[in-house]
C-alpha cells in the first residue's frame, strides 16, 4: 500500500502553495506520487465543485454535506484507492476533515452524523497523516487579497470562518494523525517541516 497524505486549512492558509512545493520536491527526488484535490480531481467531481462553490441557488446544509460526500466517494473509488494500491504516495488538497469542520462543526451538524456519511462514502479510508495549516481567518483573507467573488462558502461571514478554525483546532488536539503547522511561517519553512515529518513517519526516505 502507498501512503495517503492530506492537507487541511481555512481559506488562504497556503495549502496550494505547500502542495506545489512538495510536488517539486517529490519530482526532484523521484518519489512516486499523485496529487489531487477535493472536491475535484475528476470531471464529475469538478462539476460538483462548481455547483458547491458558485451555485446561485440555495443549497441546504445536509445537501451540501451530501454533495461533498458524493464527490469524495467517486474520487476514492477512481483515483485515491487505485493509486494507493499501486504503492504511490497520494497527496490530497482537503479530505473529510474539511467536511467535518465546514459542513459539520461550523454548520451545527453533529460529528457522528458527518462521519457516518463519510465512512459510507470512503469505505472507511483514513489518511495516514494530515497536515493542518493554522492561521487566523482575518489574516488569511488579507494575505490572499480578499475573497473569491461569488464563492458561496468563502463569502460566509467571519464568524463562520472563525468557527471553521475552531473546529480544526479541536480535531488537531484530539487526533494524533493531524499535525498542526503555523501557516504564518514562510513557504520554505513550512515545506521543510513537512518533509522532516514525512521522513520521520517513514512516508518518504
pLDDT per residue as tens digits for the range 21-55: 999 999 999 999 999 999 999 999 999 999 999 99
Query: Coil, strand or helix: which one is 6?
Result: strand
The secondary structure of 16-56 as a DSSP string is HHHHHHHHHHHHHTT--EEEEESS-SSHHHHHHHHHHHH-S
Cα–Cα distance measured from residue 8 to residue 14, given in angstroms and rounded to the nearest whole number: 10
Positive or negative CA dihedral for 53, 55, 59, 63?
negative
pLDDT tens, position by position, 143-162: 888 888 889 999 999 999 99
What's the pLDDT at 134? 98
Residue by residue, DSSP assigns 139-193 as HHHHHTTS--TT-TTTTS-HHHHHHHHHHHHHHHHH-TTEEEEETTS-HHHHHHH
Q: What is the pLDDT of residues 114-128, one digit of tens each?
A: 999 999 999 999 999
pLDDT, residue 93, reads 98
Helix spans in 76-157 (H): 81-85, 96-98, 111-122, 137-143
What is the reported pLDDT for 148?
Answer: 82
Peptide bond preceding 39 in cis form (omega within 30 of 0):
yes
From residue 166, alpha-carbon distances to 10, 15, 110, 151 in Å are 10, 18, 15, 21
Amino acid at each position: 500500500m502507498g501512503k495517503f497524505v492530506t492537507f487541511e486549512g481555512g481559506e488562504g492558509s497556503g495549502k496550494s502553495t505547500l502542495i506545489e512545493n512538495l510536488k517539486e520536491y517529490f519530482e526532484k527526488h523521484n518519489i512516486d506520487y499523485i496529487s489531487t484535490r477535493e472536491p475535484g480531481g475528476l470531471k464529475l467531481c469538478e462539476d460538483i465543485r462548481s455547483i458547491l462553490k458558485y451555485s446561485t441557488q440555495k443549497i441546504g446544509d445536509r445537501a451540501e454535506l451530501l454533495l461533498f460526500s458524493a464527490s469524495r466517494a467517486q474520487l476514492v473509488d477512481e483515483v485515491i484507492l487505485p493509486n494507493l494500491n499501486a504503492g504511490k504516495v497520494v497527496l490530497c488538497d482537503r479530505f473529510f476533515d474539511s467536511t467535518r469542520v465546514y459542513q459539520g462543526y461550523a454548520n451545527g451538524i453533529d460529528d457522528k452524523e458527518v462521519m457516518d456519511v463519510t465512512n459510507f462514502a470512503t469505505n472507511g479510508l483514513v489518511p495516514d497523516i494530515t497536515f493542518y495549516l493554522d492561521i487566523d481567518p482575518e489574516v488569511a483573507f488579507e494575505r490572499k487579497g480578499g475573497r473569491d467573488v461569488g464563492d458561496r462558502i468563502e463569502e460566509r461571514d467571519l464568524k463562520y470562518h472563525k468557527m471553521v478554525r475552531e473546529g480544526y483546532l479541536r480535531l488537531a488536539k484530539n487526533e494524533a494523525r493531524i499535525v498542526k503547522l503555523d501557516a504564518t511561517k514562510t513557504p520554505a519553512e513550512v515545506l521543510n517541516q513537512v518533509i522532516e515529518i514525512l521522513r520521520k513517519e517513514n512516508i518518504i526516505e
